[in-house]
Amino acid sequence: MASIIKRKRADGTVAYRADVRVKREGVIVHQESRTFDRQALAKAWAAKREIELQELDVFGKQKSVLIKTLIAGYIEQFIEGYGRSKKADVTRLLGYALADIDAYRLTAKDLINHCIERNKEAKPQTVQNDVIWLRTIMRTMRDVGAHDYSLDVFDTATVALRRENLIAKSTRRERRPTRLELWRLSRYFAKKRGTVPMLHVMWFAIYSARRADEICNLLWSDNNADRSTGMVRDLKHPTLKTGNHRRFKFTRSAWKIINQQPGNDERIFPYNSKTVCTYFANACNILEIDDLHFHDLRHEAVSRLFEAGLRIEQVQLISLHENWQTLKRYTNLRPEDLDV
């Protein structure tokens, strides 16, 4: 539908701007404008363009798919098997204005504007996840749906986004609990009565290098008592979402804690991992321990293994890191711990 807007120029003369817009499902999928000195010319041009656009099938069969349709399709077909955080990242994209844009008309400006708004509520590292996921979704759904929209806008936008620090790579976290912090947490959990034996869970995390999700999903039936090994089912992996089962070695201290559990459930630690992390965070708040997360215990665990003199390949049999590049991110040795 066309509209004619009358406006006054800086020199006092009058101009008429003809705007032509095409909407589909309440979303503008095409827009153009032109300015004329006479109203009649503006109306004539607008009428002509509407006819031309109809002939080009802009209103009907021209290739078009909304980004929110692609996201919804991706969630339906591919999201199963991803972790909670990734599911949340993808689902959250549906709530942004970017989702209402036609994939065939997505511009670098659209991506940049989205990131500018997101930076008002999130860090550049988090905002980068939006861009990564959107690109992944559009690439996958382009192949699935036989679309041929271009993804070049991501390359163009990324240059500007990085230059202006609107997106950034995740910073390496090096937080390890101090001996005093572990002592205080141990005393707190020892006195705290509850459904989750947090003292055992905390120290098992330190001795085993297991994530919270992994700890709460370990099965008694997967243990090999003769070899002191267990199994992590669906081990976290960048590409393998399910079926990535890996055996690992229990340290002596971890195995000792295992044998102290009641064994009245198929799971060794039959608790919700979110509850475990919440209890840990609450304890840190009460004890005024700043910036310590449950996942930092995994950092602590890997670092302790290296400090104990284990080789890289030996540590990997416990932590189950794929390679040294990923393993070293969790290895935060302290200078005072070196014996040279």
Give catalytic status of residue 200 as yes or no.
no
Catalytic residue among 49, 86, 241, 267: 241
Question: Parallel, antiparallel, or unpaired for β 246-249 and 229-232?
Answer: antiparallel
* Burial class (CB within 10 angstroms; exposed 0-12, middle 13-18, buried 19+) of 266: exposed
Single out the catalytic residue among 118, 184, 298, 304: 298
149 has catalytic annotation: no
Note if 82 is an active site residue: no
Q: Is 118 among the catalytic positions?
A: no
DSSP string across 129-184: HHHHHHHHHHHHHHHHTT-----HHHHHHHHHHHHTTSS-PPPPP-----HHHHHH
- Residue 176 known to be catalytic: no
Confirm if 216 and 169 have CB atoms less than 8 A apart: no
Q: Report yes or no: 140 and 185 within 8 Å, Cβ to Cβ.
A: no
Q: How far apart are the first and last CA of the chain?
A: 78
* Eight-class DSSP state of 266: S
Active-site residue, from 114, 210, 211, 304:
211
- Can 6 be counted among the known catalytic residues? no
Would you name the residues annotated as active-site residues? 211, 241, 295, 298, 321, 330
